[in-house]
Amino acid sequence: MMNEWLECTLKSLNLTDSMKRPDGFTRLGYSEEELEAMAVFKQVSEELGLKVRRDEAGNLFARWEGVSENVVMTGSHLDTVENGGGYDGAAGVLCSLGAVKKLKEHGFVPQASIEVVCFASEESARFGVSTIGSKSVSGILEPAVQEVKDRHGITVKQAVESVGLKWENMLNAERSKDEILSFIELHIEQGTQIEDHGAKFGVVRGVACPIRLKVKAGGMAGHTGTTPMGKRRDALAALAPLISFVSNTAEALSAASSKPLVATVSTLDVKPNVMNVIPGYAGAGIDIRSVDDQLKRKMADEIIAFCRGLEEEFNVTMSIETLVDNSSILLDGKLMARVRDAGEQLGYQAFEMDSGAGHDVMNMAAKWPSALVFIPCEKGISHHPDEFTSLEDLSIGVDILAEVLKQEAGD
């Protein structure tokens, strides 16, 4: 009964008849597609008897009125990366709604009000800026974000206004410290540690926020046939060793540390990018993550030093810009214990771990006691059409969330 509802609602939230789609799901932040998924969220919430409100940042809150005005909040997001999966974000929204459904079916009467949130624009896929919705709620959205453009030249401000919001009102989305008692997010793990450790769910201690660098190599374009090898200032040839360096150094630093570190050259743009011209420009985007902020900093510093060497070796200029440098975030110990105990009392083995990915919870944790629950996803595959979490695991997520909400909102 619950499983059928989960399966059906999962598809509805993903605007699909089948979760197996060769191109996966593309619902960028503040797009028509995200709006459509959010409309489904509203409909499902109303069917559960919740009252839905859209805030000034485009977040949706589905509220179960309690005796008090205080709020216990749970939820995640419905936007995706390009050609992503249908579970990243959606699983958390779904399980939160499922938990409310279960509590309602069991006749639970909440003392505090319960809100299921669907945050807007969590992924950085569109703008390179993540978690815009939850940043607005916790009051840490930087005004400069409005100028950031997507690959089509559309700014965050324009995107926000294209879905019927007003940029000037975004700051009004902030919620007060007193109003919210706690926030619990459920998310798919996007890794295999839970399974690797024989557990059923993950309880997250900290979130590894990224340092993101943009390295731009400037050389000299020239004809590929007439410029002798020794006379070149090839920007791509200059950048190539950096790609290997990032990968190899991350592996070495991670192996030598108690906390894991990952680093990726995830974007690369070459100009003019035509067959018979030596690249005069090459730009790389680098994403570095660890819950150990010092280790992250060390990796960034090694990249910067390596680039200085490349400048000389290849006779190019290298500019290095820090796009993002966020300290990692520790979650609430008491709430973490409550989540772990709730799961284990239900008979599910917990695994305590760090999160290598950022989530909305990291912004909420800046202001309110917050917890993050992971459920497994197959082979750890995420941000990919093959992303998959079983109904069994989703159902475990519902059970754990319901139990935690009962305790948090029931005292």
State yes or no: residue 219 binds a second copy (CB under 8 A).
Answer: no
State yes or no: residue 189 binds a second copy (CB under 8 A).
Answer: yes
State yes or no: residue 179 binds a second copy (CB under 8 A).
Answer: no
Choose, by CB under 8 A, the member of 157, 289, 296, 340 that binds a second copy.
289
State yes or no: residue 285 binds a second copy (CB under 8 A).
Answer: yes
The tokens describing 344, both together, are 């284990």
Which span sits near a second copy by CB under 8 A: 9-17, 53-61, 215-223, 299-307? 215-223
Among positions 375-394, residues that touch a second copy (CB under 8 A) are 380-384
State yes or no: residue 155 binds a second copy (CB under 8 A).
Answer: no
Among positions 80-139, residues that touch a second copy (CB under 8 A) are 81-83, 123-125, 128, 130
Residue type, 262: V
Q: Which CB, 49 or 309, lies closer to a second copy?
A: 309
State yes or no: residue 237 binds a second copy (CB under 8 A).
Answer: yes
Number of C-beta neighbours around residue 2 at 10 A: 15
Choose, by CB under 8 A, the member of 275, 305, 312, 411 that binds a second copy.
275
State yes or no: residue 218 binds a second copy (CB under 8 A).
Answer: no
Between 13 and 52, how does the x/- string for binding to a second copy read (CB under 8 A)?
Answer: ----------------------------------------
State yes or no: residue 221 binds a second copy (CB under 8 A).
Answer: yes
The residues with which 84 forms a beta bridge, in sequence order, are 25
Among positions 70-89, residues that touch a second copy (CB under 8 A) are 81-83
Q: How many residues bind a second copy (CB under 8 A)?
A: 71
State yes or no: residue 360 binds a second copy (CB under 8 A).
Answer: no
